[in-house]
Structure formats: structure tokens, C-alpha cells
Amino acid sequence: MFTKAQELLASYFGYSSFRRGQDETIKNILDGKDTVCIMPTGGGKSLCYQIPALVLEGTTLVISPLISLMKDQVDTLTQNGIPATYINSSISITEANQRIQLAKQGHYKLLYIAPERLDSIDFIDQLIDMRIPLIAIDEAHCISQWGHDFRPSYLHIHRVLDYLPVQPIVLALTATATPQVRQDICSTLGIAEHNTIMTTFERENLSFSVVKGQDRDDFLSGYIRQNKKEAGIIYAATRKVVDQLYEKLNKEDVSVARYHAGMNDNDRNEQQERFLRDEVNVMIATSAFGMGIDKSNIRYVIHYQLPKNMESYYQEAGRAGRDGLDSECILLYSPQDVQVQRYLIDQSTGASRFSNELEKLQHMTDYCHTENCLQSFILQYFGEEPKQDCGRCGNCTDDRNSVDVTKEAQMVLSCMIRTNQRFGKQMIAQVLTGSKNKKVIEFSFHTLPTYGLLSNRSMKDVSEFIEFLISEELIAVEHGTYPTLKVTTKGKDVLLGNQLIFQKERVETKQIVKDHPLFEELRHVRKEIAQGEGVPPFVIFSDQTLQDMCAKLPKTTGEMLQVKGIGEHKLEKYGNIFLQVITNFLEQHPDIDAMITTEVITERKQSKKAMKNSHHVTYEMYKQRDTLSHIAEVRELSMQTVENHLIRCFEEGMEVDWPSFVPKEYESMIASAVEQAEDGLKAIKEQLPDNISYFMIRAYLQMNK
Ligand code: ADP
Ligand code: MG
Ligand code: ZN
């Protein structure tokens, strides 16, 4: 039966192989075993019941909590030539009855229903006359009161199971993996726990990064400008910020939509539709947006503000790149947002869960500060032991230089002290740049020794530098009537010259997808067809399919069938239209052939590889007996970066000769400092002369492990 499943995968969906976990789940189902399937968002859960639905006799019942999703899913199936329908509150009673009758006659392979239907015994009675070989429960975490979206109606699912004359196979699917939720699903549905199939949560096509100490608005505008043809979501923490960003980007002529709980249903739906249909490319939203969005061609998800926990973050970020193409997830970090989230938690959480939520927020903040692989951090958070670094994320690919900015930091901090730590960013920047602003003069700040110390830099530059110092936690922001800046303990250390501060070069925005003239034409045709059929473009073909057409340049229907995501049904429907577009294009561009296009793709892969191994390059040089300072010079990196590279390689299991980094004459000094200091590198460092670096201490600790 499994061979049949593979054939159906190719003929209906146009895919050549199953993804991780899909084959196992489908085998289980076809063996008649009730199963729980846990895969990350975008992992491909739908196929796990859609393929068995095609193999098994009768109508598979799919319970899904998301009304907005049902139509798109049914449209997608219909597009692939699979008879399917849905019943939910968006259709009339007459329509619903019609569909039930047709289902009883065996017209559909799949019937989607909202869980609320199961509240009615009348409805369940109708099911008795249907032949139901399989019940798929999507978003099965809604069964659990421990999950984040508990739905009481989900508890009625067992009613159906009790009523039906022939027991269907039960498949529960979710992206929530916590043990508590898993147990709840198993016990409520009577599934044996060993029949849980869980894949890694790694998403190989996503690259995560955290951008901090940089002007967020600038970054955002630049990013959107560079990727204006691609679809992306920007998440903000509050409605107010969503509205502000919406206005701002609108003024910059960006095609944007917005979504938050403060808008009325009509507005929200309209905005969502426009985004789904590629009529606008950018969606700015609170976390209210996204449940039930299957749009597969989202190329980036930017968090303008810190989300409240890793669960929300991974779920929201995971909406990028469902089609499997490279996509980016960027978090713009600013320490003030920790306060915003604290406040939101404070407002919405009962005392019993308060400390739990704060702890989760702490993990979220830790994510923003880690220098290790971000994907690995996420996987570890969800209880996985990643085998290796991802090589794609902002930290894995970070080869920016670090610059010593201790002096400038001291100027800012001392300016704050001289103005009694009573002012905000604006005023401090004005004093430092030597502004003749009325306020500055009124307070006589033009007579301060720090006045104009940074007059060679712009206001904006200095403000951004202050942002950086805030993100490094040398400065804290206190929110009174106005936000005021205070020097932290760490800041005092820097001021006293006990600690150096390095700043990395800014993260430059880049284009995610290379322009390809044929891709643009295909995308255009897809949109026209979609408009004609009243469905979102990604339902016709995914971006992956269009890209594969660019790479393969099919000239015959046989070749077209080789393209990812084109099954027989779609070939028949759209094959000729797209073949025509490709033929015309090739006539107009005789110079472009498959060689070049595939070259572009491999080149992209290679340049990524070259980038990812910056620390390995350092390591190779180190192995060639280069000194660290020489490596730093040749590679134009700071000493600190080179040292970090070495530490990272060591953590990856490579050999490092630690004793060679601890000068003999310092060894005993370090030893006694280690003994005396409570713990933490900083405490040890404080007891030692300045010329003993952090790196020496770390080396010492490693060799004495
Ligand atoms: P989930 O429900 O797990 O979030 P979906 O079922 O919506 O994920 O699938 C995400 C995307 O992956 C869809 O666009 C789907 O067509 C695609 N997909 C699923 N399985 C495969 C496969 N075996 N090969 C290629 N693409 C696949
Ligand atoms: Mg799904
Ligand atoms: Zn990584």
C-alpha cells in the first residue's frame, strides 16, 4: 500500500519524495494504527492525512479549528484534482445539508469540519451514514488545557468515536511538542503514546538572526525596499505600534496591510485577503495574525519587537518559507521591549502563571544575547539535542569586524552623569554633537566638558550608538513621564576603564531572492490565473514550483511533469499556459539557458557555504601555526573575534592547544583568582591585572577541566 502512496504523491501533488516523518506517519495509518504526528509548522502535516485519504475507501474527516484555512485547503485539493469540501459557519444551512448529502453518497475524499459541529448530536448522527476510514485532527494541541489554544469543542471528538459503527483510524497532528500536551492528546483520544511520530523541529530553509543596537526603522525600511517583490510579515507587540508602522510605511509608498484585534472583522478579513492574494506584499500585525494562514510564499518574518516567549516566536517566525525555499526570520532586539512584554504579562497573567511567564520571557531574552547558533538554541529549548550548528543563522555566518568603541562609550556615559542622568537619548545626543538647541542652552549644557565631543558625528549616528549601549546594558532606560537614561553597574565599569566595549559593524540588509526575469513573468501569470479563479496565487503553484520551472526550463509536457509540485491534474489545467510563457521567454532571451539559471542557484548555495565557515577559516590558519594576532591582522578581524572563532571550533569538537595561550608567568595568578572568585569570568577578571585577557582566563579554565 505504501508504494501506492508514493505514486499518489507524484501524480496528485507532483512531489518526488516524502519529507521526514511523512512516510512513517503514513505507513502507520495504512497499518491501521492510531497515531500522533508532531512536526514543525511548514513541516508538511497535511499530506500525512491527505495521502491516506486517497488510498483508503470512503471520506476522511478532517477536524480543523481554523475556518479561514479550510477554504484554502479545499481549494488546494480541488486544484490537484482531489474531491474535497468543508462545512463550517461560513456557509448556509442549505449549503451544509447539500454537502452532507453528497458526502453520504461518497462524493468526497476529504470533508473538513470545524470542531464546533461536534457540539451538535444531530450533526454526529449524520456522520453515522458516512463511510469514514480516518479522522484527522489538525492542531490537536487544542485538546489540551495546557496548550495555548484550548478549544472545549475538541473534547467532543471522542463522542464521534463512540457513535460511529465502524471505528475509524485516528490521526492527531500538531506543532506543539511539550510532554504535557502530548500526553493530553494521547489520553483524550486513546492513542498509545509509543505511536507518536515526532520529527526534528529544525527548519532547514530558514535562517534566523537577531539585530540589535541598530536603528530599527532604518533597518526595516531598507530591508523592505530591497525585498519589495517578496511577501513578508512584520510582527509588533502592540496595536499602537502596528498602526504607527503602517502609517510610516504607507508614507514610504510600501504596499502594506495591517491586522490586529482592535480592527473590526470586515477590515481584518479584507486586509488578510489582500495579503494572501499577493495584492500587498507586507503585512504588519500583532500576534493575533497568522493562525490559519497557509500562505506558502512568505519569504521573511521580521519581529519589530521582542515576542513574549520562544513558543510564540518559533510559531510566528515559522510562517516563513513553508514552500521550502530559503527564507529569513529576523528579530530586531531592543532591551526596552523586555519592559513592554513584562507589562503585557503583568496585565494578562494570573498570579499562578506569572513567574512561569517571566521565566519564558527570560529565555526569549537569552536568545537575543547568545553568540552561538540560533537554530541550535531554539532546538535545545524545545528539548532536542542538535547535532551541529546550522551554518545559516546570523551567528553562524557572522564575520563582521569588531571595533573598540570604549572611548566613545565613555563619552556618552560621562555626558549622562554630567547631566545628572535626568534626560533621554535625544538630549544626550544633542549635547554630545554640540547642538545649539534652545533647551541645551537653557540648561547651560553648552558649558559642559562633554559638549560637542562627538560633533563630527550626526545626531542620528549618536542616537544609534546610544541604542547600542542600551542593548549592551551599559545604559538602562527608566520610564517615568519621559524615558530617562541611567548608567548601569556594567556602564560604571566601562566608565572606570575596567572593561572594554567592542561594537560590530552594522548588519546590512540584503536581498533574499535574486532577480530572475522569467520568475517575474511566471509570477505575473500565476496571479492573473488566481484572480480569475478567485483563489490565492500560492494555491495555483508555490514559489518553489515557479523556481523549479526557471531551473529546469521545461519545453514539453513530459518535462513539465518533472517540475516539483506539478501533478497530472495541474499539468492538464495549467501546463500549456506556463509552457507557452517559458517558450516565449526563451525566444526573447536566447542567451539564457538552463545552465545559467542552475548556475545562479548553485552559486548562491556556494557563497552561503563560503560565508558560513568564517570560524573554520580561522581554525585552518591556526592549525597552520599562525598566531592569533597575525590571523586577526590578515583577516581584518578583531582579536576578540578570532578568539571567539577558536572557542566556537573547540565547542564543535576541534582540538585547541589551550596551555599555549596561558603565559607561564600568569598561571599561578590566574589560579588563585579562580579560587577566590565566587564564579563567572567577570569576577575572576576583576581580580587580575588588565593585561590578562578574558581569553587567557578561558584558556586556563579549559586546560584545567
Ligand atoms: P504544516 O501543516 O505542517 O504546517 P503543510 O502541510 O501546510 O505544513 O505543508 C507545508 C508546505 O510543504 C506545503 O506548501 C506543501 O505543499 C509542502 N510539502 C509538503 N510535503 C511535501 C513534500 N513531500 N515535498 C515537497 N513539498 C511538500
Ligand atoms: Mg497545517
Ligand atoms: Zn546557526
- Three-state SS for 546? helix
* Closest CA to ligand 1's atom 12: 44
Residue 281 confidence (pLDDT) above 90: yes
**Mapped to the 3 state alphabet, what secondary structure does 302-342 carry?**
EECCCCCCHHHHHHHHCCCCCCCCCEEEEEEECCHHHHHHH
Residue 687's pLDDT band (boundaries 50, 70, 90)? confident
Q: Which residue ranges make up each domain of the chain?
A: 2-198, 206-381, 402-504, 517-703
- Which of 175-179, 293-297, 518-522 shows the highest mean pLDDT? 518-522
CATH number of 402-504: 1.10.10.10
Residue 603's pLDDT band (boundaries 50, 70, 90)? very low
Residue with cell 448556509: 92
Residues framing ligand 1 (Cβ under 6 A): 15, 18-19, 22, 39, 41-47, 294, 296, 322-324, 542
What number does the ligand 1 atom closest to the CA of 76 have? Answer: 16
Quickly name the fold that domain 517-703 has: DNA polymerase; domain 1 (1.10.150)
* Closest CA to ligand 1's atom 18: 44
Angle formed by the axes of helices 459-471 and 406-418, nearest 10° = 90
* Mean local confidence (pLDDT), 99-128: 94
Return the C-alpha cell found at 62.
478532517
Q: How far is 335 from 470, CA to CA, in rounded Å?
A: 7
Query: Which whole-number Å values give the CA distances from 244 to 51, 258, 285, 425, 634, in the listed order?
Result: 45, 10, 11, 20, 46
pLDDT, averaged across the chain: 90
Q: What's the first-to-final CA gap in the chain, in angstroms?
A: 55
Q: What is the pLDDT of residue 639?
A: 80
* Cβ–Cβ under 8 Å, residues 298 and 289: no
Residue 681 confidence (pLDDT) above 80: no
Q: What is the pLDDT of residue 91?
A: 92
Q: How far is 8 from 1, CA to CA, in rounded Å?
A: 11
* Cβ–Cβ under 8 Å, residues 287 and 307: yes
Return the C-alpha cell found at 552.
529546469
Residue 651's pLDDT band (boundaries 50, 70, 90)? confident
**Mapped to the 3 state alphabet, what secondary structure does 20-75 carry?**
CCHHHHHHHHHCCCCEEEECCCCCCCHHHHHHHHHHCCCCEEEECCCHHHHHHHHH
Residue with cell 525596499: 225
* Mean local confidence (pLDDT), 658-674: 88
Written out in words, the top-level CATH class of the domain with range 206-381 is alpha beta
Residue 275 confidence (pLDDT) above 70: yes
What number does the ligand 1 atom closest to the CA of 175 have? Answer: 3
* Cβ–Cβ under 8 Å, residues 567 and 14: yes
Angle at 651 between CA 650 and CA 657, to 5 degrees: 20
* Cβ–Cβ under 8 Å, residues 146 and 181: yes
Residue 667 confidence (pLDDT) above 50: yes
> CATH second-level architecture of 2-198?
3-Layer(aba) Sandwich (3.40)
Long-range pairs for 481-488 at CB < 8 Å and ≥24 separation? 482/424, 483/336, 483/424, 483/425, 484/421, 484/422, 484/423, 484/424, 485/416, 485/421, 485/423, 485/424, 485/425, 485/428, 486/416, 486/421, 487/413, 487/416, 487/417, 487/421
Q: How far is 299 from 383, CA to CA, in rounded Å?
A: 27
Q: What is the pLDDT of residue 54?
A: 97
Q: Which tops the pLDDT comparison, 669 or 599?
A: 669
Residue 254 DSSP code: -
Q: Return the closest-CA partner of residue 158 out of 147, 145, 168, 148.
A: 168
* Closest CA to ligand 1's atom 9: 44
**How big is the chain, counted in residues?**
705
Residue 52 confidence (pLDDT) above 90: yes
Query: 206-381 and 517-703: same fold?
Result: no
Query: Which whole-number Å values give the CA distances from 527 to 541, 552, 571, in the listed order?
Result: 10, 21, 17
Q: How far is 585 from 567, CA to CA, in rounded Å?
A: 23
Q: What is the pLDDT of residue 144?
A: 87
Q: Which tops the pLDDT comparison, 165 or 208?
A: 208
Of 145-154, 360-369, 479-488, the least confident: 145-154
* Closest CA to ligand 1's atom 23: 18
**Any idea which ligand is nearest the CA of 46?**
1
> Each residue of 552-595: pLDDT tens digit?
999 999 999 999 999 999 999 999 999 999 999 999 887 765 44
Residue 599 confidence (pLDDT) above 50: no
Pairing of strands 502-504, 402-404: antiparallel
**Any idea which ligand is nearest the CA of 329?**
3
> Each residue of 425-483: pLDDT tens digit?
999 999 999 999 999 999 999 999 999 999 999 998 899 899 889 888 899 988 778 88
For a pocket test of ligand 1, which of 202, 276, 294, 542 has the largest count of ligand atoms closer than 8 A to its C-beta?
Answer: 294
Helices marked H in 109-190: 121-128, 157-163, 179-189
Residue 12 DSSP code: I
Residue 92 confidence (pLDDT) above 90: yes
Return the C-alpha cell found at 107.
462524493
Angle formed by the axes of helices 517-533 and 543-552, nearest 10° = 140
> Each residue of 475-487: pLDDT tens digit?
998 877 888 999 9
